[in-house]
Amino acid sequence: MQALIEKANTLIEALPYIKNFFGKIFVIKYGGAAQVDAALKDAFAQDIVLLNFIGIHPVVVHGGGPRISEMMKKLGKEPSFVHGQRVTDAETMDIVEMVLGGLINKEIVALINSHGGMAVGLSGKDGSLIRAEKKVVKRRSPETGEDEIIDLGLVGRVKEVDTTILNNLQEKNFITVVSPIGIGLHGETLNINADYVAAALAGALKAEKLILLTDVPGILKKDGKVLSTLRGRKAGGMIEDGSVSGGMIPKVQACLQALKAGVGKTHILDGRLSHCLLLEIFTKEGVGTEITQ
């Protein structure tokens, strides 16, 4: 009987959060181990379906870098990166679009639907959802000491978001799953970092939350403990002083971008933790790092 009472107490603890978030939009970037491990994939889909059934509108944005590299090698093409960003020529872009939009996106849609949701897959090209422009990257030349422009090919940055198609699907209670592909100024297809796409969508939708799933517990202090809450200004300073580095940089930058665009709160969570979404959203303690204004 005590175990049953504890279950009831858990539901009661979640009640104020359910009331506060009813009708709100959450944009969730899905990647890392949560997108690979079978048990974590099921837990993620269950979380998304539950959010939708209690009146929260989840929008899922996914990546898929390892799967793209795997497919490239199968097709005899070696992946190339500059500053952690994939160099994307026309042939690589075809592979990127095939893997992200045709393989991964539909897998996620089918997984959510198998748990009782109504999901539909989109890319940024659908309904002109994501207008993009080529991303310019500079690096210091070791020979001259001056900045030089690096051509990454068909790599883009979000220029404009048209949420019409998302709004229409939301009205019909569909869960949208978006692959991070945009359409360029001249109709070309551009590959975009999924963290930045999620931030741009969250800002355009005036989402209550932007949530990024990662393969680390959150942003760490120098003693290795997780920072549970962090102000945006402090987070920006941690990038400047090197406390935040590597793959965590675009995630923190995405959070800061979303906050600047009016998103309520942002979260960086450990996607290796089963049901991390529910633990962060519906419990007082939460998990991971919350970044606020």
Query: What pTM, to 2 d.p., does this model score?
Result: 0.92
- Active-site position among 32, 64, 124, 271: 32
In-domain check, residue 13: no
In-domain check, residue 49: yes
Annotated active-site residue 218? The verdict is no
Beta strands in 189-228 (DSSP E): 189-191, 209-214
Question: Digits of tens for pLDDT over the chain (293 positions)?
Answer: 777 777 787 788 889 999 999 999 999 999 888 888 899 999 999 999 999 999 999 999 999 988 999 999 999 999 988 877 889 999 999 999 999 998 999 999 999 999 999 999 999 999 999 999 999 887 777 777 677 788 899 999 999 999 999 999 999 999 999 999 999 999 999 999 999 999 999 999 999 999 999 988 888 887 778 888 888 888 888 888 888 887 888 899 999 999 999 999 999 999 999 999 999 999 877 788 999 98
In-domain check, residue 230: yes
- Active-site position among 37, 41, 65, 106: 65
How far apart CA 24 and CA 167 sit, in angstroms, is 12
At 33 the pLDDT is 80
Cα end-to-end distance, the chain, whole Å = 43
Overall domain count for the chain: 1
User: Residues 6 or more apart from 162 whose CB is under 8 A from it?
Assistant: 127, 128, 129, 131
Annotated active-site residue 32? The verdict is yes
- Active-site position among 134, 135, 209, 251: 251
In-domain check, residue 98: yes
- According to DSSP, the residues that pair with 156 across neighbouring strands are 134
Residue 138 is part of which domain span? 23-292
User: What's the CATH code of the domain at 81?
Assistant: 3.40.1160.10
Annotated active-site residue 29? The verdict is yes
At 223 the pLDDT is 78
- Active-site position among 195, 209, 264, 288: 195
In-domain check, residue 6: no
At 137 the pLDDT is 80
Residue 162: phi and psi, rounded to 5, are -110, 110
CA distances from 234 to 102, 152, 229, 244, 285 (A): 39, 31, 10, 11, 21
For residue 55, give the amino acid letter: G
In-domain check, residue 177: yes
In-domain check, residue 285: yes
- Helical (H) or strand (E) element with 292: strand 289-292
pLDDT digits (tens, 9 = 90+) for 97-155: 999 998 999 999 999 999 999 999 999 999 999 999 999 887 777 777 677 788 899 99
User: Residues 6 or more apart from 79 whose CB is under 8 A from it?
Assistant: 68, 69, 72, 73, 86
